[in-house]
Structure 1
């Protein structure tokens, strides 16, 4: 019976070791997934920055071209109008001898120049407004696409990881159950083969009962461990997805606000402060949730 006692004391320890190993493997896998997601986020943010820079450069080039064309057109119009005015004044001077021709020419030229300047200003203002709207729309669209891609990538990776973990755990449980069933069958065969009047029948019965109890305990512990592991994976993945979505949304808000109100330094400073506060709060919440989950897992396993 001492041998049975030793076996009964060490076997649960082995089960706990197996459960701890499974939990460690799951944590490592989740960490790898998080690292991959972070790398993807960094790459996509880089792509977004490049796209925004390219769009801004193209828009600036278009603005310069439009302004140059408008200036050229205005200059041509002014030259033509001045030439026409000079010709008309000369004709009038020939027909009617008027000494105020110079004043008329000056007034006409001033009016033409003022109108031309107003046209240029209006065109430039319209172009700038259109450029700002286009940049804002492009940035918002790109960031929304990034958010969608991030969510899809995270969900797919999480589903794959969870499926792999569950399959591995189920395979381990099946192997353990098969081994235990084989042992029980062997013991039962030994009992059946024994003579009914054998004095060792009680010992054999005790062995069978102990083995069955151990099997039941092992199955319960393994199932509980699987449930705990799946819960941990789901919680961690949900936290990661929430963090990614929050960070991307904050980036969208910052980009839009900075593009729209980039002329106001106070607004930019306020936006930056708000973003920093939001990111800090999110990180603190994530850390607290992960710590609570780890504590719960440890308590359940113990």
Structure 2
């Protein structure tokens, strides 16, 4: 709580009347709304001033003796969690002489009635002005609040849209990066697998070719060896058969020769014996 001090003071003296209006404003924080405080103080000041004038005129016209009216008004306004307290202290005193003639009484009564009518008109005008001021202030406050709310909503919507756009862009970028990385990894894996398969196939083909060549060579060698062996065996057999045939033929020839010789000898001996 702090004390702003005496806001305004109004003093006037007329025909023994004294009006003192003191307005004190207290607030919880120094950042209270100046517009609200000023409007509240002006409205209360005008209303109280009218009440003071009315009370003074009525008291002076209705009674010839001196009168003192003391009014204390306390207005508490809560605005935006700030407390505004307006204290109005009024002292109205009036005095007049009791000795007067009948003619002066009648003239004073006529003047008091005219003053009353003028006071009523003044009160009506002041009340209308106060109501208009209050309505204008309320409309201004409502417009300001609506504008502030609209601005806040627009700012919030813009911030939300920006955040959503940023999030969408980030998500799209992340998805694109992930897709690119996955595609690159898949391509690399496919290339590596193809290379490995090609290398393995080439190695297998080479091994198969080598094995086939070796087998063919071995088969050829075996065939050649077999052929050579067969040829050798055939040659040996042929030679042996030829030799056997030659021997047999020679033996037959020898036997025939021997038989012929023996037969010749026998025949010769037979011939000789005869």
Q: Same fold (TM over 0.5)?
A: no
- TM-score range, shorter-chain basis? 0.3 to 0.5
Scaled by the length of structure 2, what TM-score is found? 0.41
